[in-house]
Structure 1
Amino acid sequence: MLFWIFVFLLARQSGLTQGHPNLLARAPTEASCDCTVNSCRTLFDIVWGCLATIFACTWVALHQNVPDPKLGWFLLLLRKLRMMLVTIIAPEVIVGFAARQLVSARWISKEFNVSKTPGFFCNIGGFMSEEGHPVSRMKQLPAYISGIKKINMADIEDKSKGDTLSKGVAIAQGLWFVTQCLARVSQHLPLTELEVATLAFAVLSVIIRLLWFHKPLNVQQPIVVGRSEVDLIHFKKKTSPH
């Protein structure tokens, strides 16, 4: 809700709309209009560009946790739609959630000498014990860290539906929309309220993507890891007070 309050105040007080309450209604509906090539935009151009960016910021940018294998495709779709709705209503919640996962992944990386990708993979429930239970809690990790280290990074990356290039392009897409809006402001060209809201979405989307850059995307099946009591005893001795 804080996000939408910010967008409302920005659209109303920043002067980007140059005193017009609804520039979207004044947008030309045909390609031929009495204006320059740089400033002439049709209603379809504005709406399509904004909706495509909002979709990329909410649907494509989401990095969900590993779902229950028993869930069917319909429940998986509802699960993602619910998360998409949360992102639209309160995107700052997703930013906080992504930041929390990044902090946790860094802690795992430092504590157990692994990269951030296995740390994220643990946070999303990507590792599963031989008994069929997810290995996602901090107190579980010491007993499974040897098995996790034996897993190749290629196996984890193979589970992800996005690579470095695709994530980089997605970030560039959000930055491109932000650049376009800033260019119009610098040229004293108006922005519609829809574009102001989309601009805020694009900025938050770039932040979310950067926080989740090392997080595997849309993993559907976990990786089974074995348990080691030796590691658990060693970790307890290491962390116990002397």
Structure 2
Amino acid sequence: MIHVFEPKSSIAHTSYVLLFILIDGSSASSTFRPNCTRPPDGVNFVYKADIRATFDILWSCLFTLLICTWTVQHLNIPDQSIIEDEAPPKWSLSQKFHALAQKKWSHFFPKLKWMLLTLLLPEFLLGKAFQDRVLAGRSWREMQPLAKADKVEWTLTHSFYANMGGFVLKAKKRHIKSGSEDVSFQKAYIFLDSERLYLARSGGESDLHKPILEHLPSITQDEIDDKSKGDFFVKATALIQVLWLLIQVVIRAARGLVVSQLEIVVLAYSVCTIITYVLCWSKPQGTQIPTAIKLPKPVNVDLLELVSTVSRIDCLHSLPNDGRYDKASSLFLPKEALQTLLDDGFVIGAVVFGAVHCSAWNFHFPTSAEKLLWRIASTLSTGVVPLYYVVLLYDFHVKKFRFLSSYLWFFENVVVLSYMFARLYLLFEVFRSLCFLPPEAFLTTWVQQIPHVS
């Protein structure tokens, strides 16, 4: 193999300048383009060159990052006002096209929004998955006596399905009466999470309420799985890409070859993705239409008060994806601390995400100051959220003393700001360091022969 050194002038160099504009030009003013000799006649199989380019690292990492954050989304069932409204026959062609476009894009934009949120805060999605898994487990245990009495199947998948808005009470041409106020509607979907469904079936603990439903919905796990629209090919591609990255990092570390900071960051996202996948293993994905349960009697305030654990308007809208409808107490702290399952999961996600960054503790950096800043930022990213979690545990005690409240407020803001700046620095440094990698970072291993996207 013949390697040719080219100073400055090349299309690749221009791309570097545009992509890494924050880099010191005097330090990154040259490129290296390897040229291989043409194989002789009679050769039928040619191996890949034994080096990798900077853009090979960049594109493979970005693809892994995007496909992980896209496929990991397990969103709740959307609002049915868009999904099921049919175009009146008198609509013009343009009106029908607009309605169809709105219906189609209503699936895409929420997923895109949560993908972008996952890129910014992967620990939040892991925390939401942790909350969903714990609540589904509780619901599964609570529903077993009712399912046995009704002779219907109720699995962990059923609990996930219920908590994502899979079961709705459907009413047509009814009225909701609340004193002197009448709320009319032609179509209403009263969304039931597992707790509301349990109350609707059992009647609650009070003898004043009779069960609204005569039995639990009769739907099998296979039928729920059939509603799931998770793309197996996309998930398989994401899994292969993540496994390839993991093997790549392990083999390079074992052989003493340099691993880039960008690969470590993407590995951190991948670890969070894998944990989220495990927590959501039984949760349907991409379901758009819920299972409707016909109401045995007209809708009234008594029914809404029974099945709604929050408010009337909440049960008339689809369940939000951010978990704010749930206020389940923390698994690890006393109830008076006010922390929730979502907080528990967020802390776990932050520790996992930050700890992977700490594995780059002794990596090569452009300057010693940047190495020190990386160590500080990765430590803060790992430890600040648990510290904040503990501080909030005693928050309600401290606020009893006014002279301590101001100090606590100041400390909480310092903690939040330090976490934000630490994450911003890590994001900046991974791309800056990519253009200052030592030559050993570009040597390849046999892992490069495994099918992957780069």
Note the alpha carbon deviations across 1:198-240, whole angstroms, 9 max, x for none: 11111111011111111101111111135689xx9xxxxxxxx
Please name the residue that 2:71 is paired with: 60
Q: Deviations over 1:30-66 (max 9, x none)?
A: 5759xx9786112332122111111121111111111
Any residues of structure 2 matched to 1:127-142 within 5 Å, and which? 127-131=167-171, 132-136=189-193, 138-142=195-199
Distance in 1 between residues matched to 2:138 and 2:241, nearest whole Å: 30
SS, match of residue 168 in structure 2: strand
The answer to whether residue 240 in structure 2 is matched with residue 209 in structure 1 is no
2:193 and 2:73 map into 1 onto residues whose CA distance is 19
Task: Give, in whole Å, the separation in 2 of the partners of 1:210 and 1:70.
Answer: 32
- 8 Å CA contact retained: 2:139, 2:194: no
- With over 3 angstroms needed to count, the CA separation of the structure-2 counterparts of 1:169 and 1:127, relative to structure 1, is farther
Q: Indicate the SS of the match to 1:130.
A: strand
Q: What is the rounded CA distance, in whole Å, between the counterparts of 1:166 and 1:117 in structure 2?
A: 22
Aligned match of 1:74 in 95, 100, 105? Answer: 105
- 5 Å-filtered alignment, 1:169-180, equals 170-171=238-239, 173-180=241-248
Q: What is the identity, as a one-letter code, of the residue corresponding to 2:80? A: P
Q: How does 1:89-100 map to 2 (within 5 A)?
A: 89-100=120-131
Q: Which residue is equivalent to 1:182?
A: 250
Name the residue aligned to 2:216.
147
1:101 aligns with 2:132: yes
**Who is 1:86 aligned against?**
117
Q: CA separation of 1:218/1:199 partners in 2, compared to 1, >3 Å: closer, same or farther?
A: same
Give yes or no for contact 1:177–1:199 (8 Å, CA) kept in 2.
Answer: yes
Structure 1 residues 192 and 39: alpha-carbon distance in aligned structure 2, compared to 1, 3 A threshold: farther
Paired with 2:194 and 2:113, the residues of 1 have a C-alpha distance of 24
Whole-angstrom CA distance in 2 between matches of 1:164 and 1:78: 21
Whether the 8 Å CA contact 2:170–2:190 is kept in 1: the answer is: yes
- Which sections of structure 2, spanning at least 5 residues, go unmatched? 1-23, 38-46, 83-101, 145-153, 172-188, 202-212, 298-302, 304-454
Work out the CA distance in 2 between the residues paired with 1:216 and 1:26: 50
- Distance (whole Å) between structure 1 residues aligned to residue 33 and residue 228 of structure 2: 42
Give the corresponding residue for 1:10: none
- Could you tell me how far apart the structure 2 residues matched to 1:220 and 1:159 are? 8
Displacement after TM superposition at 1:91 (Å): 0.5
Q: Percent same amino acid at aligned positions? A: 30
8 Å Cα contact 1:99/1:211 also seen in 2 = yes
Structure showing greater radius of gyration is 2
Report the structure, 1 or 2, having the larger strand content.
2
Structure with the larger RCO, 1 or 2 (CA within 8 Å, 6+ apart): 1
**2-side partners of 1:157 and 1:172: how far apart?**
23
Any conservation in 1 of the 2:68–2:238 contact (CA below 8 Å)?
Answer: no
Rounded Cα–Cα distance in structure 1 between residues aligned with 2:284 and 2:115: 18
Which one of the candidate residues 259, 275, 281 is aligned to 1:191? Answer: 259
CA contact (8 A) 2:68 2:273 kept: yes
Deviation at 1:170, TM superposition (A): 4.5
Provide, for residues 161-194 of structure 1, a one-character-per-residue CA deviation record: whole Å limited to 9, x for no partner.
1388975774454233222212111111112222
TM-score, reference length from structure 2: 0.40
SS of the residue corresponding to residue 191 of structure 2 reads: coil
What are the ranges of 5 or more consecutive residues in structure 1 without an aligned counterpart?
1-20, 233-242
Deviation at 1:139, TM superposition (A): 3.4
CA distance 1:47–1:184, shift in 2 (3 Å): same
Distance 1:163 1:79, change over 3 A: closer
Aligned to 1:157: 225
- CA–CA distance in structure 2, aligned partners of residues 42 and 169 of structure 1: 22
TM-score, normalised via structure 1 length = 0.72
